[in-house]
Chain A
Amino acid sequence: MTTALARLEGLEVFYGASQALFGVDLEIGPGQAVALLGRNGMGKTTTIRTLCRMQPLYRGKVWFDGRDITALPSFRAARLGIGLVPEGRRCFASLTVTENLIAAARPGPWTLARVQDFFPRLAERADQTAATLSGGEQQMLAIGRALMTNPRLLVLDEATEGLAPVIRREIWTAIGELKRAGLSLLVVDKTLSELLPLADSCVILERGQSVWHGTPTDLSPEVEQRYLGL
C-alpha cells in the first residue's frame, strides 16, 4: 500500500445531478505503467481529471507520494509531480512552441534543451505558434509541455488518437523511452496492441467503476470481449 506513487480510493464523481464515477480504485507504483481501459463513456477521462485534481469528487481519496491530495487544487497537484497530457492535445494555440514549453517549466532534469532533444521536431518549430503545427507535432508539444513540469507520474489521455500511423509509431516509441527512463505512466489509449506490451498492469472501467485489475497477460479474450467489446 505505502509503495504506491499514486492511489485512487473509491472515487465517486458527479457532473451536476448525474453520477459519472461509482467507485474507482487504482494504484500506480514507482516506475510502473498502468493502462486504464474501458469503452467510450466509462469514466476514463473523469478518472484522470480527478487524479489531476481538476474534477471535484463527492467521495473517495486521491493519494500521491503518500500524501492525501484530495483537497488540493490542480496546480498544487501538478507541482507535486503529476504531469497531464490531455485528450485532444490542448496546446496554447497562439503561443509559440518555445513559449508553450517554458510556460510549464519547473526545475528538474527535463529542461527545454532536453525536451527539444527528445522531440527534435519541437526545436525545428520553436518559433511557430502551436496552432500552425500538425496533429503529431501538437501531440509532441503536449507531451513535451508535460515533461517540462518534471513530473514523476505522466498521465496520457488518448495521446495517439487521430494521428497518422507513422506519427503514432513515433509517439509510442517516445512513451516507451519515457518508461525505460523510469517515469511512472498512466495511459489511456485505444491502440491495445501498442499499449499492452508497455503496461505493467491494467485497470478496466465499466460504467464508472473499476471492475477488473490485473496484468496484460491476465487479460483473457473473454474479459476483452466483455468489457472492451473486442
Chain B
Amino acid sequence: MRELRREHMLNALLAAALFAVPLWAYLVDEPFLITLATRVAILAMAGVGLNLALGLGGMVSFGHAVYFGLGGYCAGVLAHHAFNATPVLMGLDGTNQMLVIWLVAMALSGLLAAMIGALSLRTSGIFFIMITLAFAQMFFYFALSWPAYGGEDGLPIYVRNVFPGLNTMRPWNMFVIAFVMLMLVLALFAMIRASRFGAALMAIRQNADRVAAVGISPFGVKLAGFVISGMITGLAGAMMADLTRFVSPSMMAWQMSGELIVIIILGGTGRLFGPVVGAAILVGFEVIFGGLTEHWKFWLGLVLLSVVLFARGGFIGLLAGKERHG
C-alpha cells in the first residue's frame, strides 16, 4: 500500500512537472520548450494507447504506428481538402476543426484496429508480433505510393487546424490542448484498469483458458482492448500531425512502432504514467544527445538495455517500487 501511495504521489509530481516546465517556458518566452513538452504529451498519449494493449492485455503489437499514422493522415487529408475547398470523397467536404478530425481519426483507427485485431488476435507470441508488423508495413507502403497525398514526400498542413475558443497557432494553447487530452486519456486508462473489463484483460495475459472458465470470451475482451488502444493511438497521431503541421508515411513506419514500445518499456509496462516518463526520456535524449551526436540512439539503446536488465518495472518501477498499481 505504501508503494501504491508512493506511485500516486510520483504520478501527481510528473503531471505537475509536465505542466510546470512549459508554463515556465511560456512565462520566459521559450516557445521551443513548449513545443517540446507538447510533443512529449502527444507521444505519451500514443504510448498510453499501446500500454492498454501491451501493458494490460499483454498484446505485443509491433504495428501500432499504423494507427498513429492513420490518425495523422486523417488530420492531413481533411485539412488538405478544407484548405483547397475540394471534397474528400462523394461530396464530403474536408474540415479544419480539430474536434471533428479527432472523431474521424478515432473512428477510422478503431475500425482498422478491429479488422487487424480480428485476424491477428487469433495468433499469439511471435506470430502476433509479425502479423501486426506486416499490416502496419502494408499501410506504410500504401501511403508511400499514394501520390494524391504527397506519397513519399508527405503532406503539409499549411494552417494548423482550429479548436473552439483557442488560437492553436500559439504554442501554449496547443500544449494546453495536448495536456488536457493526455490527462483525459490517462483517466480513461485508470478507469479501464479498475473495471471488470480491465481485470479480465489483465487476467487473459496470464491464462486465457482460465478466463474462459469464468464466462468471459478472451478473444472478445482482447479485441475490445485492442480497438480502444488503436483509437487512442490514432487520436495521438491526429494531434501530432497538427503539432508538426506535417504528415508523412514515416509516422506508420516500423521504427515508430518500435519507438512506442520503447516508450512503454522505459517508463514501465502497464504503469499509468509509464508512457509519460518514457516519452519524456525519448524526447529528452533526442534533443540533448541528438545535438551532440547523430548516434544518439546508441545511447538510448544502452539505457533501454539497462532498464530491461536491471529495472523491469521501468523508471516508474525504479522510483515507486514493484507494485504495478498506481
Contact = CB atoms under 8 A, between A and B. Distances in A.
Task: Tell whether A and B belong to one assembly.
Answer: yes
A75 B210 CA distance: 9
Contacts of A92: 202-203, 206-207, 210
A133 interface: no
B16 interface: no
Given A92-B206, A93-B206, A99-B199, A104 B212 contact: no
A186 B244 CA distance: 63
B196 A102 contact: yes
Contacts of B196: 102-103, 105
Nearest to B200: A103
Nearest to A155: B213
Contacts of A95: 199, 202-203, 206
Interface in A17-75: 52, 54, 73-75
A75 B218 contact: yes
A45 B206 CA distance: 21
A73 B216 CA distance: 10
A84 interface: yes
A127 B324 CA distance: 12
B202 A90 contact: no
B29 interface: no
A148 B202 contact: no
B215 to A, nearest CB: 4
A191 interface: no
Nearest to A92: B203
A93 B202 CA distance: 10
Interface string A116-151: 000000000001000000000000000001101100
A104 B206 contact: no
B217 interface: yes
A78 B209 CA distance: 12
A84 B199 CA distance: 18
A78 B213 contact: yes
A82 B18 CA distance: 50
A213 interface: no
B199 A100 contact: yes
Contacts of B210: 86, 90, 92
A173 interface: no
5 contacts: A76-B215, A86-B210, A96-B325, A99-B203, A127-B1
